């Protein structure tokens, strides 16, 4: 992709060599790289809105000496032209750290197992995507974004540890709107191998759902409803566990919504299990310090707490053992356990109630009660006797995770679905989560 220009990995290695060679005795340095070479193609009404190519590589430095630390992040431009600037940055961090107060929780770099992973894929060209999705389905009001390219993550420290993770990948995140009533079907494609036949098959399925959205929307009254959530909706709920939920630091600082779970004052349903599972290899296992997380870490098993996510810094502060969590102590590869409900039987099992395809804009409404509020979105339907009746008007919910995944959880589907992380703040995010659909009783709709 870069012709004769050096690769991102080459530049990372050269930067590290340059920086580590400048270190003096008793000085410690950890270097992280986050980068990408990605095409973003934004579309609306099956036409192109904005096509952007991004080449980005950001280098982060953590300097420590005598328990004093300072950090910096800088875009990696071109070497050797930037060499002097990197040396100056290190000199600045050295000078700053000396002036700053001691940081008792600064974690010195450690030796460890190094890794190098590179995943190549078969990505669609921009033209191929435009042809197979936008032109082929031009009669559909499809809106969203296609992200496609190579992502880079690297860590190196002054003990000699190195990790490199480079992966090709694409993610198409889209909605198809009904021509007249504002309702929509939501979908994603993601992976390393673009298969046009899978795209066609999925688009045909969407057409069927669009047909079900023809009927006039039903306005539900606030109340408690038997509800089935598709995996995409479950994924949004599981996302809240990463929002200061399973973080050891948040628990210690009184800010975790799941404090009473991890203090063993409350539990969840024995049908609920949550694992941090890196076995799919979609995201790097290493954290910013270069520690490798275990391939699998049980967070909650049959409703009982097992492990929190502990970063090296939190471990040092509380005299614990780190489990390779990132600084933010959020889930990077969440996997919620499956159950026994066959997905094809979900409507029948629901009987009469609300079928939720997607949720929107979740936030804690009461942290200590683990209460979450948010909205229904897209193709949510009213179901009677196991049959779709009509779409519902958007409803607000307000529900505690202790109830939703506690006594209200009736069953989970027997297969999980991978919901890709399509976020691109700062750059294309990797991975996603694997979750089942869930059948719950008395789901609380408030407005």
Partner 1 sequence: MTQELKTILGSLKNPNAQWFSIRKMSEVMTTQVVRNGHPEANHIDDSTGYFIEAFVDGALGYAATSRSQTAALQQALDRATRNAQLTASLPVARLEREKVRPDAKGEYLGHQQKPFETVNMADIAEILTEASATARRSEKVVKSVAMASYGTRTTEIVSTSGAHTFQKISLCTGDIEAVAQDGGVIQKRTLGGLRGFSKQGGAELLDRNFFLQAAERVGEQALELLWAKECPTETLPLVVAADQMMLQIHESIGHPLELDRILGDERNYAGWSFVKPEDFGALQYGSPLLNVTFDPTVPEEFASYGFDEVGDTAKKEYLIQNGKLLRGLGGLESQSRLGLPGVANQRSSAWNRPPIDRMANINVEPGNSSFQDIISSIEDGIYVESNRSWSIDDYRNKFQFGCEFGKRIKNGELTETLRNPNYRGVTQSFWKNLTHVGTADTFAVYGTPYCGKGEPNQSVRVGHASPVCAFKDIEVFGGTQS
Map the footprint of partner 1 across residues 415-444, applying CB under 8 A: 423-426, 428
Contacting partner 1 (CB under 8 A), which of 52, 180, 319, 344?
52
Neighbouring C-beta atoms of residue 2, cutoff 10 Å? 10
* Minimum CB–partner distance for residue 377 and partner 1 (Å): 6
* Residue 93: strand, helix, or coil: helix
* Residue 208 Rama label (left phi>0; alpha psi -120 to 50; beta): alpha
Map the footprint of partner 1 across residues 376-395, applying CB under 8 A: 377, 394-395
Contacting partner 1 (CB under 8 A), which of 51, 201, 205, 342?
51
* Residue 296: strand, helix, or coil: strand
74 binds partner 1 (CB under 8 A): yes
Here the tokens at position 353 are 């109630």
* Minimum CB–partner distance for residue 196 and partner 1 (Å): 18
**80 prior amide bond cis, ω within 30:** yes
73 binds partner 1 (CB under 8 A): yes
Map the footprint of partner 1 across residues 140-179, applying CB under 8 A: 143-145, 147, 173-175, 177
Neighbouring C-beta atoms of residue 409, cutoff 10 Å? 20
With respect to partner 1, which residue has the nearer C-beta, 9 or 396? 396
With respect to partner 1, which residue has the nearer C-beta, 360 or 407? 360
Contacting partner 1 (CB under 8 A), which of 9, 136, 202, 364?
364
Map the footprint of partner 1 across residues 210-239, applying CB under 8 A: none
108 binds partner 1 (CB under 8 A): no
80 binds partner 1 (CB under 8 A): no
Q: Kindly state the number of chain residues that form the binding site for partner 1, as judged by CB under 8 A.
A: 92
Determine the interface stretch with partner 1 among 110-118, 150-158, 254-262, 434-442 (rule: CB under 8 A): 254-262
Distance CA 329, CA 311 (A): 6
Distance CA 330, CA 319 (A): 20
259 binds partner 1 (CB under 8 A): yes
* Class of residue 441 by CB neighbours under 10 A (exposed 0-12, middle 13-18, buried 19+): middle
* Class of residue 316 by CB neighbours under 10 A (exposed 0-12, middle 13-18, buried 19+): middle
Map the footprint of partner 1 across residues 112-131, applying CB under 8 A: 126-127, 130
With respect to partner 1, which residue has the nearer C-beta, 243 or 355? 243
Distance CA 348, CA 385 (A): 7
């Amino acid at each position: 992709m870069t012709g004769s220009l050096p690769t991102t990995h080459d530049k990372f290695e050269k930067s590290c060599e340059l920086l580590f060679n400048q270190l003096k005795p008793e000085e410690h340095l950890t270097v992280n790289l986050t980068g990408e070479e990605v095409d973003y193609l934004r579309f609306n009404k099956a036409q192109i809105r904005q096509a952007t190519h991004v080449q980005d590589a950001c280098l982060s430095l953590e300097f420590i000496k005598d328990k004093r630390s300072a950090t910096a992040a800088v875009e990696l431009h071109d070497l050797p032209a930037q060499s002097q600037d990197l040396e100056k940055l290190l000199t600045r961090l050295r000078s700053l750290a000396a002036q700053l107060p001691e940081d008792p929780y600064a974690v010195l770099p450690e030796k460890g197992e190094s890794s190098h992973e590179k995943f190549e894929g078969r990505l669609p060209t921009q033209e191929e995507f435009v042809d197979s999705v936008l032109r082929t389905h031009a009669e559909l009001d499809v809106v969203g974004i296609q992200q496609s390219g190579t992502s880079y993550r690297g860590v190196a420290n002054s003990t000699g540890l190195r990790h490199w993770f480079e992966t090709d990948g694409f993610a198409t995140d889209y909605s198809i709107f009904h021509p007249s009533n504002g309702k929509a079907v939501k979908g994603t494609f993601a992976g390393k191998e673009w298969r046009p036949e899978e795209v066609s098959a999925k688009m045909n399925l969407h057409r069927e759902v669009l047909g079900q959205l023809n009927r006039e929307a039903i306005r539900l009254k606030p109340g408690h409803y038997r509800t089935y959530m598709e995996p995409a909706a479950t994924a949004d709920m599981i996302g809240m566990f990463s929002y200061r939920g399973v973080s050891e630091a948040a628990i210690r600082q009184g800010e975790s919504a799941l404090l009473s779970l991890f203090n063993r004052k409350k539990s969840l349903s024995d049908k609920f299990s949550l694992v941090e599972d890196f076995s799919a290899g979609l995201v790097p296992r290493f954290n910013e310090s270069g520690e490798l997380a275990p391939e699998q870490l049980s967070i909650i098993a049959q409703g009982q707490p097992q492990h929190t996510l502990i970063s090296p810094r939190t471990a040092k502060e509380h005299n614990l053992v780190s489990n390779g969590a990132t600084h933010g102590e959020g889930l990077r590869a969440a996997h919620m356990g499956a159950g026994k409900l066959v997905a094809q039987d979900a409507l029948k099992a629901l009987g009469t109630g609300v079928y939720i395809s997607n949720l929107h804009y979740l936030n804690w409404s009461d942290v200590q009660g683990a209460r979450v509020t948010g909205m229904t979105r897209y193709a949510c339907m009213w179901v009677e006797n196991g049959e779709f009746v009509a779409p519902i008007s958007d409803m607000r919910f307000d529900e505690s995770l202790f109830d939703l995944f506690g006594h209200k959880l009736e069953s989970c589907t027997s297969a999980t679905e991978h919901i890709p992380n399509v976020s691109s703040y700062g750059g294309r995010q990797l991975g996603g989560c694997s979750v089942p659909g869930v059948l719950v009783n008395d789901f609380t709709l408030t407005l």
